Amino acid sequence: MGPNTLSVPMALFGENRNRLVESVKADVNTPAGSIILLQGGGDQGVCSGDSSDNGPLFRQESYFHWCFGVLEPDFFGAIDVASGKSTLYQPRLDEDYAIFMGHVPTLMEVKERYRVDEVIFLDEMPDHLRSVALVFRPNLLILEGLNTDSKKISRSASFDGMSEFEIDRKLLHPHIAECRVVKSSYELDVLRYASKISCLAHMEVMRTIKPGMAEYQAEATFLHHVYFYGGARHVCYTCIAASGPNGAIQHYGHAGAANNRIVHEDDMLLFDFGAEYYCYTSDITCSFPASGKFTKNQSIVYNAVYRANRAVLAACKPGVMWTDMHLLANKVVLEDLHSAGVLKGNVSDMMDACLMGRVFQPLGMGHLLGLDIHDVGGYLDGNPERSQLPGLKYLRTARALKAGMVLTIEPGCYFIDYLLDSALADPELNQFLVKEKINEFRGSGGVRIEDVVAITESGTEVFSKVPRTVQEIEDWIGGDNSFMENWK
């Protein structure tokens, strides 16, 4: 991208295509003469009903990007299953394009840039597809599958003349989604970089934001740092720059709650920010006191969540069930709230009553991460189904961990009035709650400590390195650079 930024090798996408072809080929249901055909994202404009001539900056659709790494809109791409040969179909641009949009790359230039076997104009695609497969009616493997986070169906390729081909919409999706779940070492390099630049920006934010500033000034600082220094033009989700009570709002920062509260001296801050680099994402949350020094109650909640984060980190390795990690994090937080006198009774009874999921952490403890912030493949057929229990039902996967997965570990503890009130009125739950202690935490928002980790053969590699202990955070905000000196 620019000075001192990561150069992404196109071999990343070549290897992805090879992995996909191997997987599809090994499937006994794949007919001879099959071609994988994907349609890239288009520049059709805005969905919000706006008729203006300015839409959001184009960002490639993730499945297409995973296969081809193409940054421009309106391409199609094909992979012949038998030969592994890859073809990009480039839109034919007119002369005005050169004036308004810049140099129109030739077919050869596109081929050089993206390292595919062939580049053809899009209007010649139907004829070309017939010639590639060497059969009279090639079988097109088209992507169609449910995204279990958005509940949307992935875009299916569609073009004039499609009816002259055999079309299979079932076979491709589980193969490509499963391939995306396990990251190659090329992909790990980019994901590691996206987290690295995000961490440096988080650390800048920790030293920039002061009481009296608006929350959005933290967002502005983060966005600037990852772009100016890291070359990351996009973030993969709207920045959550929550102060005080807003820390309890899971998706704070959207247009209706636009990071515009003024930060107070006694606030906890919860900043959930992640850069995206070459469409590979990061997702890191730092929680710290606006004053730079933890109060006693702030450190009770913080340390409970920190201990949960580290307990999960220590336990993660191939074969471990993600649901167990969620429950482990819940249990550690409950233990610490119990020790601090915020809860009473027996922790295993609290677990049986789903106290975390119903009150203090009504969402999942972490998720797969890759080209999407909530990456695909969480509930593919053949894997455990979604639990219907509180908290667990929002967990974005229930799978066993596998080397090459990248996930966030993001336990949290939130004080949500609406849930606290319900719990205090519920005899099954209020037996555990020390009302007067709980009231001390009302309005304080919440704490989330979110790291990005890769699962290795033996355990984990942590991609997000930021000050995490109370001491590290206080030292860093206080101007002590020793954390940075050990940073790599």
Task: Please list every residue from 393 through 452 that binds its own copies, using CB under 8 A.
Answer: 416, 418-419
CA–CA gap between residue 411 and residue 390 (Å, rounded): 15
Least distance (Å) between residue 460 CB and its own copies: 25
**What long-range pairs does 247-252 form, CB within 8 A, spacing at least 24?**
247/287, 247/414, 247/444, 247/445, 247/446, 247/447, 247/448, 248/414, 248/415, 248/416, 248/445, 248/446, 250/363, 250/414
Among 11, 25, 31, 46, binds its own copies (CB under 8 A): 46
Least distance (Å) between residue 99 CB and its own copies: 6
| Residue 380 and residue 368 in contact, taking contact as beta carbons nearer than 8 Å | no
94 binds its own copies (CB under 8 A): no
Phi/psi for 186 (5° steps) reads -60, -45
CA–CA gap between residue 184 and residue 235 (Å, rounded): 22
Among 159, 186, 216, 487, binds its own copies (CB under 8 A): 216
Q: Which residues in 118-217 belong to E strands, given as ranges? A: 118-121, 139-142, 166-168
257 binds its own copies (CB under 8 A): yes
228 binds its own copies (CB under 8 A): yes
| Residue 233 and residue 5 in contact, taking contact as beta carbons nearer than 8 Å | no
Least distance (Å) between residue 223 CB and its own copies: 7
| Residue 232 and residue 312 in contact, taking contact as beta carbons nearer than 8 Å | no
Q: Parallel, antiparallel, or unpaired: how do β-strands 166-168 and 268-273 relate?
A: unpaired
30 binds its own copies (CB under 8 A): no
Q: Which of its own copies, Mn ion, none binds 249 (CB below 5-8 Å, type-dependent)?
A: its own copies
DSSP state of 259: S
Q: Which of its own copies, Mn ion, none binds 236 (CB below 5-8 Å, type-dependent)?
A: its own copies
Helix axes 172-181, 11-25, angle to 10 degrees: 130
Least distance (Å) between residue 375 CB and Mn ion: 11
Q: Which two tokens stand for residue 61?
A: 């659709």
Q: Which is closer to its own copies, CB of 90 or CB of 323?
A: 90
Q: Which of Mn ion, its own copies, none binds 160 (CB below 5-8 Å, type-dependent)?
A: none
Among 136, 152, 163, 479, binds its own copies (CB under 8 A): 152
Sign of the C-alpha dihedral computed for residues 87, 93, 95 and 101 taken in this order: negative
Contact positions vs Mn ion (CB under 5 A):
283, 408
Least distance (Å) between residue 236 CB and Mn ion: 10
Region from 80-88, 212-220, 308-316, 434-442 binding its own copies, contact rule CB under 8 A? 212-220
Q: Which is closer to its own copies, CB of 73 or CB of 84?
A: 73
Q: Which of its own copies, Mn ion, none binds 341 (CB below 5-8 Å, type-dependent)?
A: none
Least distance (Å) between residue 84 CB and Mn ion: 35
42 binds its own copies (CB under 8 A): yes
